[in-house]
Amino acid sequence: MNQPLAYIHPEAKIAQNVVVEPFASIHKNVEIGEGTWIGPNAVIMEGARIGKNCKIFPGAVVSSVPQDLKFAGEVTTTHIGDNTVIRECVTVSRGTIDKMKTVIGSNCLVMAYAHVAHDCIVGDNCIIGNAVQMAGHVEVGDHAIISAATLVHQFAKIGIHAMISGGSLVLKDVPPFVKAAREPLSYAGINSVGLRRRGFTSEQINEIQQIYRILFISGLNNSQALDKIELELPPSKERDEVVNFLRNSGRGIIRSYFSKDAN
């Protein structure tokens, strides 16, 4: 829809059936896919690549210049996948020379007042709660849920199907399939309800539980637990996902809330 009260740069590439509401602002070097809705007072800045059937709510700012003093004006981008919803007053910064892009995947919901900083990579089907604040270079796996008012330290990683409770401070990596809660943030069991909702079988869930019993409850250190997991449990997609995540953790992983009781 050609909205005379919106600002649209003539070089922006916008599909014909995109709806742009009054007082929205769309800058140059922007691409917006079919069926997307840009709400009033939303600002889509240079480098944005927005997919199909997205909804960008009022006051959101997508692809703003990174809040990074090292940023030197390099040409970078922000990618928003298909069917993703960006709610009111969300801010998403574009990438820096590190990754050259910030990514939020498809079918995501980013709730009001959240911030996704430069070079973050968020997978598909994720939920980012109200006022979540993600520092730069954070990686979030598919189907992860980060509840409201959580702060995520730069370079932290959050595994697939993980769920983090509201008001958390994420200083360490959060492994796949788990619930993370309490202060300091700790392993609080596996995300069994979420896994069942997504079609995981009882056998798969039991296997994941066994992996984390070895890792968090056995009293072994992480290296010993990884060796035991690989020795005693047969290869599977879930086992390998956890093992690879742990071996590639740069910040170290959260500890178990239950570990003191187990010892």
Which positions ≥6 away from 46 have C-beta within 8 Å?
A: 27, 28, 29, 30, 63, 94
What DSSP state is assigned to residue 46?
T
Catalytic residue among 82, 119, 124, 173: 119
Task: Dig out the tokens for 5 from the structure.
Answer: 């009260």
Segment 187-191 long-range contacts (CB within 8 Å, at least 24 positions apart): 187/212, 187/216, 187/254, 187/255, 187/256, 187/257, 187/258, 188/257, 191/161, 191/162, 191/163
27 is catalytic: no
Cβ-in-10-Å burial (0-12, 13-18, 19+) of 9 comes to middle
| Phi–psi pair at 243, nearest 5 degrees | -60, -45
Catalytic residue among 136, 142, 159, 161: 136
118 is catalytic: yes
Task: Calculate the alpha carbon distances from 199 to 164, 204, 205 in Å.
Answer: 20, 10, 10
Catalytic residue among 79, 115, 118, 137: 118
136 is catalytic: yes
Task: Dig out the tokens for 47 from the structure.
Answer: 């480098």
Pairwise CA distance, residues 52 & 38, whole Å: 12
Pairwise CA distance, residues 125 & 74, whole Å: 30
Which residues participate in catalysis according to the annotation? 118-119, 136
